[in-house]
Amino acid sequence: MFDYGGSTALVTGASKGLGEAFAEALAARGMNLVLVARSTKKLNDLSARLYANYKLQCTVLSVDLADPNSPKALAEELERRGIQVDLLVNNAGFGLSGAFLSHDRKQKQAEIEVNVQALVALTHHFGEAMAARGKGGIINVASNASFQPVPYLATYAATKAFVLHFSEAIRHELAGSGVQVMATCPGPTATNFFEGTSTRMSPKDMDSSESVVRRTLKAFDQKRAVAYPGRISVRITSLLPRLFPRALIARIDGNATAKMGLDD
């Protein structure tokens, strides 16, 4: 099992949702934390609460991962402070719903920058240091959308497919290095992901952030390559692309996302 006690985890997108739940769960396991997100106030509030509850060392860094220079600046700041990252949780990400052409091109590029480019840069930097030490862990948050094309979430699903395949590939490359890599693929989760959309999904049809993180860390402890932390119905949908033509799956998913109200 990964040695959590006294180690340090870097969690991106830590100010809310899954990132906040990861921070809480890892603090409870005895880890010090580096909390990264754009919202300084939310990070400071979370840091204060976690310190009060667990007396851990908590470093807050306000970073916008849509800025291509941010991963390098983040790494340099941690090096300057002498902080070693033992577990990297690449959780930061966002998805723009609606027709692809309805969004400004720069918005779509920012989506790719956060979901893919920043994740790759952070994985490379901290993964390289972990491999040199002969130990460490990386958890990349993909999605149940990783397994199929998803109209009205086209770019988001494509970026998460990248995260899944990238994670599985580098896990193979790092086998025997002491660095454990895993992708986690949650389904609809009761976070702020659907804020600002006209989705008609009810929170009762979603998993909680806490349950997703609990199941993800259980899978990580079991040294799984991929975690499926959602309910059974979500897991079944990830298997459908193996059974039916991709064009059919795209139509099915397009109808489903439209029914959810994500085509606006």
**Alpha-carbon distance 74 to 221, whole Å?**
27
**Alpha-carbon distance 5 to 65, whole Å?**
28
**Alpha-carbon distance 117 to 110, whole Å?**
10
Q: Is the per-residue pLDDT at 100 higher than 90?
A: yes
In b/e form, how buried is each residue of 139-174, taking b as 16+ CB within 10 angstroms? bbbbbbbbbbbbbbbbbbbbbbbbbbebbbebbeeb
pLDDT score of 62: 97
Quick: pLDDT tens for 33-66: 999 999 999 999 999 999 999 999 999 999 999 9
Crossing angle of helices 70-81 and 119-133, rounded to 10°: 30
In this prediction, residues 8-12 reach a mean pLDDT of 98
pLDDT score of 89: 98
Q: Is the per-residue pLDDT at 193 higher than 80?
A: no
In this prediction, residues 137-157 reach a mean pLDDT of 96
Look at residues 99, 90, 119 and name the one whose alpha carbon lies nearest to residue 10: 90
Domain 8-259 superfamily per CATH: NAD(P)-binding Rossmann-like Domain (3.40.50.720)
The fraction of the chain above a pLDDT of 70, given in percent, is 95
Q: Residues 35, 46: contact at Cβ < 8 Å?
A: yes
pLDDT score of 197: 53
Quick: pLDDT tens for 204-240: 778 999 999 999 999 999 999 999 998 888 888 888 8
pLDDT score of 220: 98
Active site residues: 156, 160
In this prediction, residues 11-21 reach a mean pLDDT of 96
pLDDT score of 125: 98
Match 């975690």 to its residue by tokens. Answer: 227
Q: Which residues pair with 136 in a beta bridge?
A: 179
The residues, ordered by sequence, that sit 6+ positions from 62 with a Cβ below 8 Å of its Cβ are: 37, 38, 39, 40, 43
Quick: pLDDT tens for 105-134: 999 999 999 999 999 999 999 999 999 999
Structure token pair of residue 224: 């799984």
pLDDT score of 195: 58
Mean pLDDT of the residues in the chain: 93
pLDDT score of 202: 63
pLDDT score of 189: 85
pLDDT score of 145: 94
pLDDT score of 121: 98
pTM of this structure: 0.92
In this prediction, residues 192-196 reach a mean pLDDT of 60
The alpha-carbon radius of gyration of the chain (Å, integer) is 18
**Alpha-carbon distance 257 to 264, whole Å?**
10
pLDDT score of 198: 55
pLDDT score of 199: 61
What are the extents of the domains in the chain?
A: 8-259
Give the full edge-to-edge strand order of the sheet including 136-141.
58-62, 32-37, 8-12, 87-90, 136-141, 179-184, 226-227
- The string of DSSP codes covering 21-66 is HHHHHHHHTT-EEEEEES-HHHHHHHHHHHHHHH---EEEEE--TT
* 183-to-144, 178, 223, 229, 263 alpha-carbon distances in Å: 11, 17, 11, 11, 27
pLDDT score of 201: 60
Structure token pair of residue 223: 């040294």
Q: What band does 194 get if pLDDT is binned at 50, 70 and 90?
A: low
